[in-house]
Amino acid sequence: MQDIFFPMFFHMIWCVLLYAVLTIVRAPSVWSIGKGSAVAKTFKQLEPKISANLANQFEWPVFFYAICLLQIAAAKEPEPSLIFLAWVFVIGRFLHSAVQILTTNIRLRGIVFTINFLAVIGMWLLTFDT
In this prediction the pTM is 0.89
Residue 3 contacts by C-beta under 8 Å, 6 or more apart in sequence?
Answer: 77, 78, 83
Q: Going from the N-terminus, what domains does the chain have, and what CATH number goes with each?
A: 5-127 (1.20.120)
Task: Note the pLDDT tens digit of each residue in 30-65.
Answer: 777 777 777 778 888 999 999 999 999 999 999 999
Q: Cβ–Cβ contacts within 10 Å for residue 42, how many?
A: 12
pLDDT in tens, 13-25: 999 999 999 999 9
Please report the pLDDT score of residue 109 as a whole number.
Answer: 96
- Provide CB contacts within 8 A for 24, sequence distance 6+: 43
